[in-house]
Amino acid sequence: MAQGNRPYASLEIIPPLTGISKEQLINDIRPFTEFNPRYINVTCHRDEIEYVQQEDGTFSRRLVRRRVSETAVCGAIQSELKVDVVPHIICGGASAHQIEFQLQDFKFMGISNVLALRGDCLAGEKRFTPAPGGFSHADELVRAIRDFEKRNGCEGFFRIGVGGYPEKHFEAPNIETDIDNLKKKVDAGADYIIAQMFFDNKVFYSFVDKCREAGISVPIIPGIKPISTFRHLQLLPESFSIDIPRELTDEILSFRDDREAIYRIGQEWATAQCKDLLAHGVPAIHFYTMGKSANVIGILKECF
């Protein structure tokens, strides 16, 4: 973005479940590299808690890691594909000291771009609970990263991205308050914003206008996720608190038993979104791949 040559595509992947080999991971990602993505975001997932019944009938609590660590995934992508990586750093499940160790690893690996997020609640939690000695909000995390740079003599090493919500974060009482919270993250030292997925570009343009009015001047990157299954009509609004336009909903409902048609409709809708966004001068488009490649590759062929 700083070079400002032309808009580019970036991708977000989810670390695979444990048990997959490095070769399998790389083979899954390799088709994207034909389009020279500027970077690949790698999500971070909290360890899960599992309760195991003992012989005496009591239960013991233990942590379970179901996915390969993002640090391992970042290392594999760097070494095998030579593509820049942007790991997520989340408040959830980590103390300030643990996050500092993570930053030390990223600096050692030459990873200078990160995405700082609060993270989701654990399953069963009604409200986000920080780890003991951890952070409650993403602006605190951004400030901690900048403090790490100062204390380690590497000021300006990290380029920090944060999340933005065109339809507001589900916990915010209104969009204006949510944008006030977003500005706190930028004021703490964030360099750019990646928007949550949306399916109506007018919502994104309105969000950008509100951000600019609030004094947020950093680049804002739209996030795109093509619908690929009928279940997405329920799962995406439920999981991400977003709206799916009536026109798109009705079209998918009319083909509810035709999986190929729904896949095509979702790809065509996202392609139209991207062409319109590029025409409006966005600096980049970020794709939430959810581990799927065919539809995103189809969009990249048409738009980049």
Q: Is 7 helix (H, G, I), strand (E, B) or coil?
A: coil
Query: Of 64, 65, 85, whose CA–CA distance to 73 is shortest?
Result: 85
Cα 55–chain centre separation: 42
If you ran DSSP here, which 8-state letter would residue 32 be given?
G
Query: Of 220, 224, 202, whose CA–CA distance to 211 is shortest?
Result: 220
Instruction: Identify whether 12 is a catalytic site residue.
Output: yes
Question: Given 12, 70, 140, 167, which residue is catalytic?
Answer: 12
User: How far apart, in whole angstroms, are the C-alpha atoms of residue 195 and residue 7?
Assistant: 16
Report yes or no: 300 and 9 within 8 Å, Cβ to Cβ. yes
Burial 83-96 (b: 16+ CB within 10 A, else e): bbbbbbbbbbbbeb
Residues marked as catalytic:
12
